[in-house]
A and B are shown apart, each in its own frame.
Chain A
Amino acid sequence: MDLINFEATELRLGLPGSTDEWDKKSTASPVNTNKRSSSEMGSSVTDETDSSRSPPPAKAQIVGWPPVRTCRKNIIQGKKSEPEMGSGMYVKVSMDGAPYLRKVDLKVCKSYGELLKSLQEMFKCIIGLYSEREGYKSEYAPTYEDKDGDWMLLGDVPWDMFLTSCRRLRIMKSCEVIES
C-alpha cells in the first residue's frame, strides 16, 4: 500500500525512529503532505469493504485534519505537570481550612524540629512536639504524602528517609486524624 511509503517520506517533528510520538505533535510543514492525503482518500473509500486489510490508514496524520485550531490542540497537552519532588527541595504544604497552599524548602531545614518551626511560623499555629506514642498533642497533626500515596505522620522515620519519600505536606486538624 502506497501509504506506508509516504509515511517514511513525511516531514515531521521528532527524532528519527520515534514513530509513536509524532502523531501527538503539532503538524509540520504543510507543503509536503497533501499529495499523500489525496491518494489516501482514494484508498480509504475503495478499501472500505475489504476486511482482510490492515487497520484503516487513519494513523497517518494529515495536515489540518481534524480541523481543530492549533491553540485548541494544546489545551489538554499543555497541562503543567509537577516535577518529581522525591529528592526534597520545595514541597507544597496545605493546611486544613487555609485558602491557599505554601511551599517549603526541605533542604533548608536540617531536621524535623526546624521544619516544624517553619510550618508553625508560616501558618501561625502551634503544632507542638512529636512523641512516638501519641503523635502531636496539639489540635494539629503534620502529615506528609509518601511515594506510595499514603498519608504518614511526620516524625516516625529518620529525617533522611523522610526527605527521600516526602511528596508534599498537609497539616491536618487533629479531630480529622482521629476519625480516619
Chain B
Amino acid sequence: MDLNQKRTRTVDRVDSVDPDLVSPESTPMCPFPDEVLEPVLSLINSHKDRSSVSLVCKDWYNAERWSRRHVFIGNCYSVSPEIVVGRFPKIRSVTLKGKPRFSDFNLVPEDWGADVYPWLSVLAKAYPFLEELRLKRMAVSDESLEFLAMNFPEFKALSLLSCDGFSTDGLKAIATHCRNLAELDIQENGIDDLGGDWLSCFPETLTTLQVLNFASLNSEVSFSDLEKLVTRCKSLRVLKVNRTINLDQLQKLLLRAPQLTELGTGTFTQDLVTRPVADLEATFGSCKNLLTISGLWDTNSLYLPVIYPACASLTFLNLSCAALRSFELAMLLIHCKSLRRLWVLDTVGDMGLEAVGSWCPLLEELRVFPADPFEQENVAGVTESGFVAVSRGCPKLHYVLYFCHQMTNAAVATVVQNCPGFTHFRLCIMNLGQPDYVTNEPMDEAFGAVVRTCPNLQRLAVSGLLTDLTFEYIGKYAKNLEILSVAFAGSSDLGLKYVLGGCPRLRKLEIRDCPFGNAALLSGLTKYESMRSLWMSACNLTMNGCRVLAKEMPRLNVEVMKDEDSEDSQAHKVYIYRTVAGPRRDAPPFVLTL
C-alpha cells in the first residue's frame, strides 16, 4: 500500500466522526504520520500522560483518541457518556467513579445518584466489545449487572469497589453469561447477600478466570463447585475467599492452585486443641509465588504459624481482619523480610509496631485500623510511641493511615524526620478535638512539620485539635498536595482561605464540621475548575453563598443536599465539581443544583 492510500484511509476514518477535523499531510507542526504516531501513543497508558498528549495539537489529539483503549472517569458527573463515546471510538476498558468519598461514612443519603445504568446503555452501543469495567462508589442494580452480562459478549473483567444497590442475583447473571470472564473482584460493597449459589452459576466450560475475590460476601458457597472452578482455571492468580471457607477447605484449594500470587483466606482458626495443621503448613510452603495474603479472620498464635513458610517472599500482608496481639504479630513478622505493605488492627499495640520497626526494613506502607472504633472507655490501641517506633525502623515508609486515641506534636515531627518521603499521610486521632496530650496544645505543629518536611506529599488527612495555623502551614508548604481531608478543625474562614490560596495542585478537598463560611468558599472561585471536586458538610455555608458561586462559575455544578432538620437558608451539605455535562438530569429531589 503506498503512502497516499494510507493517508486517505486515515482521512476517511476521521471524517466519519467529525468532518471538520481532517488530518492533513505531515506538517512541520507534526512531522509524524498517523501510522507512526498511533502505535507509539498506544504504548502510553497513564491517562494523565494521554491528556497531555491530546493537548499538543489537533493531530495528536486525533491520534490519541483513536489509540486510547482505556478511559478513566474520576467523577461520573463531570462528563456524559455521550461525550465520552463521541471522543473515544475504540475503548475496551472503562473505570468510573461516582459518589463523593464521604459516602463511605454514611454522609451521602441513599438514592443520591451515580447510577451506572445510563452509562451501560450508551457503552453497549458504542463499545459492544468492551472487556473491562471498574466501578468505585457507583450505584449498581441487579438490572445493570444483567444488562452488562447480556450485552457485552467479550466482557472479561468486572471490579466493584464500594458500590451498592445490587444483590447476589446480579452476580449470578455475570457468572452465567460472561463466557470469557477473567476477573470478578467484589470489594467492600453494600450488597444484598441472598445466598452463595451465584458461584455455582459459573459454567463448567469457564476456564479463563484469573481473579476471583468474594471475600466481602457473607453467604456460604458450594465448596465442591468452588474447588472444581479453581481446579479448571489454571491461570488463576488471585483468589480471595470469604469467611465461610474453613482451613481444611482452604488447604484443598491451595493444593489445586499453587500458582496463586494473591491469597485471601477464609476463617483461619479451628476449634482443635492440638497443634496447627502440619499439612497446611507444608501446603503454604509449596506456594512459591505468593506475594499477598489477606483474610485471616479469627486467627491467633495457634494457626498463624502455618503461613510462615510463605512469608519470606510476601510483599503485602493484610491483617486488618485478624485481631492479633503484639507478640503474635512480632512472631509473624520475623519471617516477613520482604514486606512492603502491612495492614493491621490496633490490637497489636505499640509493642506490635515496635516489631514492625524491627523486622520490616523495606516497609513502604502501614495502615493501622481501629478494632473497636466506637469504644470510648478502656481503649488500648496504638499511641504516638508505636508510630515513632515504626518510623525509626522503616525509613522507606511513604504511606501511612493511622487511627489512634492520642498523639503529640513532637512525635509526628520525629516521624516525618525519620521518613521525609511521605506521599500519603493520613492521621486520625479518633477523639474529637483532641490536643497534644502532653502539652495540651493544638496539633498544628504536627501537621506543620509534615508539610514542611515532606515535599512529595500528595495526600493529607488531618485530625485532632487544629486552629487556622494548620491550614496556613498547608497552604504555604504543601506544594504537591492533591487530596486533603479535614474534619472538626479550624477556627475561622481564614483556615480554608489559606488552603485555597496555596496548594497549587489541589484536586480533591473534603471538609466536614468546620467553621468555614461563604467568604472562604468564594475565595476559591478561580480554583475550583482546576479541581475535581469540593465537599463541604456541616460548615457555615448558606444557600446565598452557594448561589453566588454557582452564578460566577457556570462550568461548575454546585449541588446542595437538603435535609429536613436544617434551616432553609443553610447549605448543609455542598458538593461542587467541574463538569462539561451541565447540571445533573438525574438528581433526586433532595439535591438542588444551583
Show the binding face of A for B, using Cβ within 8 Å: 23-24, 27, 30-32, 34-35, 37-38, 40-42, 44-45, 48, 56, 58-59, 61-73, 75-76, 78-79, 92, 94, 96-97, 99-101, 168, 170
Least Cβ distance of A155 to chain B in Å? 20
B432 and A65 contact, CB distance less than 8 A: yes
Instruction: List 26 contacting pairs A-B, 8 Å CB cutoff, sorted by A.
Output: A30-B108, A32-B565, A37-B513, A38-B513, A45-B433, A48-B435, A58-B376, A58-B431, A58-B432, A61-B374, A63-B105, A64-B512, A65-B488, A66-B373, A68-B370, A71-B188, A73-B374, A75-B323, A76-B372, A78-B243, A79-B298, A94-B272, A94-B273, A96-B274, A100-B247, A101-B270
- List of B residues within 8 angstroms of A35 by Cβ: 538, 565-566
- List of A residues within 8 angstroms of B109 by Cβ: 30-31
CA A168 – CA B106 in complex, angstroms?
Answer: 43
CA A38 – CA B247 in complex, angstroms?
Answer: 48
Majority secondary structure of chain B interface residues (helix, strand, loop or mixed): loop
B566 and A63 contact, CB distance less than 8 A: no
Query: Would A24 and B270 be within 8 Å (CB), given that A37-B538, A75-B321 are in contact?
Result: no
- List of A residues within 8 angstroms of B323 by Cβ: 75-76
- List of A residues within 8 angstroms of B271 by Cβ: 92, 94, 101, 168
A31 and B564 contact, CB distance less than 8 A: yes
Number of A-B residue pairs having CB atoms within 8 Å of each other in the complex: 129
Least Cβ distance of A31 to chain B in Å? 4
Query: Would A23 and B465 be within 8 Å (CB), given that A58-B431, A76-B371 are in contact?
Result: no
- List of B residues within 8 angstroms of A23 by Cβ: 374, 376
Beta-carbon nearest neighbor of B322 in chain A: A75
- List of B residues within 8 angstroms of A170 by Cβ: 273
Is residue B192 within 8 Å, beta carbon to beta carbon, of the partner chain? no
- List of B residues within 8 angstroms of A70 by Cβ: 104, 106, 190
Is residue B533 within 8 Å, beta carbon to beta carbon, of the partner chain? no
Is residue B102 within 8 Å, beta carbon to beta carbon, of the partner chain? yes
Contact of B274 among A56, A61, A94 (CB under 8 A): A94
> Which 9 A-B pairs have CB atoms at the shortest separation, nearest pair first?
A64-B105, A44-B433, A34-B538, A31-B563, A66-B430, A30-B106, A68-B373, A41-B488, A66-B373
Least Cβ distance of A83 to chain B in Å? 13
Total interface residues in chain B, CB < 8 Å? 59
Residue from A37, A67, A68, A168 having most chain B Cβ neighbours under 10 A: A67
- List of B residues within 8 angstroms of A73 by Cβ: 373-374
- List of A residues within 8 angstroms of B557 by Cβ: none
CA A91 – CA B574 in complex, angstroms?
Answer: 56
Least Cβ distance of A6 to chain B in Å? 11
What per-residue 1/0 map shows which CB atoms of B6-38 lie under 8 Å from chain A? Answer: 000000000000000000000000000000000
Is residue B572 within 8 Å, beta carbon to beta carbon, of the partner chain? yes
- List of B residues within 8 angstroms of A97 by Cβ: 274
Least Cβ distance of B433 to chain A in Å? 4
Is residue B255 within 8 Å, beta carbon to beta carbon, of the partner chain? no
B115-169 contacts to A (CB < 8 Å):
162
Beta-carbon nearest neighbor of B485 in chain A: A67
CA A7 – CA B188 in complex, angstroms?
Answer: 30
CA A75 – CA B188 in complex, angstroms?
Answer: 12
Is residue B487 within 8 Å, beta carbon to beta carbon, of the partner chain? yes
Contact of B513 among A34, A76, A78 (CB under 8 A): A34
Contact of A72 among B320, B512, B572 (CB under 8 A): B320
Query: Would A71 and B216 be within 8 Å (CB), given that A58-B432, A99-B277, A99-B279 are in contact?
Result: yes
Least Cβ distance of B589 to chain A in Å? 13
A72 and B369 contact, CB distance less than 8 A: yes
CA A117 – CA B361 in complex, angstroms?
Answer: 56
A75 and B320 contact, CB distance less than 8 A: yes
Contact of A27 among B106, B297, B487, B573 (CB under 8 A): B106
